[in-house]
Amino acid sequence: MSTVTFKVFRGDRNGGELKDYTVEVQEGMVVLDAIHQIQAEQAPDLACRWNCKAGKCGSCGAEVNGKPTLMCMTRLDTIDTSKPVTVRPMKTFPVIRDLATDVKWNYEANKKIKPFTPAPGTDWIMFQEDVDRVQEFRKCIECFLCQNVCHVLREHDEKTGFIGPRLLVRTASLEMHPLDVENRLDMLKNEGGIGYCNITKCCTEVCPEHIHITDNAIIPLKERVVDEYYDPVLGFFRRLFGSKKRAEPSGQAADD
């Protein structure tokens, strides 16, 4: 058994500092285990949010040695523990205390997205190949690490005119649902602010569920917005015949 030093952020909205704690490390331990050990033995008021400890709930996001990650899925033997390990809260959200941040903005911004609206009278037949891509988006555990690293939110703090990668993924899961008939393109263009995203893929890199956020969700949505609002030929026809929601191209697979 060896000992590792952790530098853990202690503080609140008004500021704080890194404090040193020494932890005895066992085989297989993750960062969250170390935080719990500190809590139980040295700092009972050390605040940290967690639930499942198995990468399924997305509660324990933090920045370990500067890298945004789920603490419960970060094994100590995958990081350099010869030097002190720094653990800070996610930077993009206001600190409540220590490692717990105030993420309620995400829940508020979510309300901009129109809910699932199925086609009336549908028979609910859907084929696996048609739902595969929606299921990818629905793997999201709402850890908000993608929101945390998105520079539009992190550096520019653009939280009024932009909904961030998590909520773009949620929009994609609805827009690409084979039976949904709602149109969310206007929201994406305006209050959703999809144009702010310049595809640096930082969100995709940190996603613990390995969702291809940029390639599979954001870029196709960007294309739809462009088609809807900026394509001169389509625009001409729309003025002639009125606008309809596009047919799902993958719907063809249903005939196989």
| Interaction site with other proteins (CB under 8 A) | 12, 26-30, 33, 39-41, 44-59, 73, 75, 96-98, 100, 102-104, 107, 110-111, 115-116, 118, 124-128, 131, 134-135, 138-139, 141-142, 174, 177, 254
Nearest to other proteins of 118, 161 (CB atom)? 118
Least distance CB 9 / other proteins (angstroms): 13
Comparison of 109 and 197: residue with beta carbon closer to other proteins: 109
Q: Between 104 and 156, name the residue whose CB sits nearer to other proteins.
A: 104
116 within 8 A of 180, measured Cβ to Cβ: yes
Query: What are the phi and psi torsion angles at 101 (to 5°)?
Result: -110, 160
Least CB distance from residue 82 to other proteins, whole Å?
A: 20
Question: How far, in Å, CA of 199 to CA of 202, rounded?
Answer: 8
* Shortest distance (Å) from residue 14 CB to other proteins: 12
In angstroms, what is the minimal distance from the CB of 48 to other proteins? 7
Question: Can you give the three-state secondary structure of 35-102, one letter per residue?
Answer: HHHHHHHCCCCCCCCCCCCCCCCCCCEEEECCEEEEHHHCEHHHCCCCCCEEEECCCCCCEEECCEEC
The answer to whether the CB of 140 falls within 8 A of the CB of 209 is yes
134 CB contacts (<8 Å, ≥6 apart)?
Answer: 173, 176, 177, 178
Question: What's the min distance (Å) between Cβ of 214 and other proteins?
Answer: 20
Closer CB to other proteins, residue 101 or residue 214? 101
Residue among 29 and 64 whose Cβ is closer to other proteins: 29
| CA pair distance 11, 36, nearest whole angstrom | 17
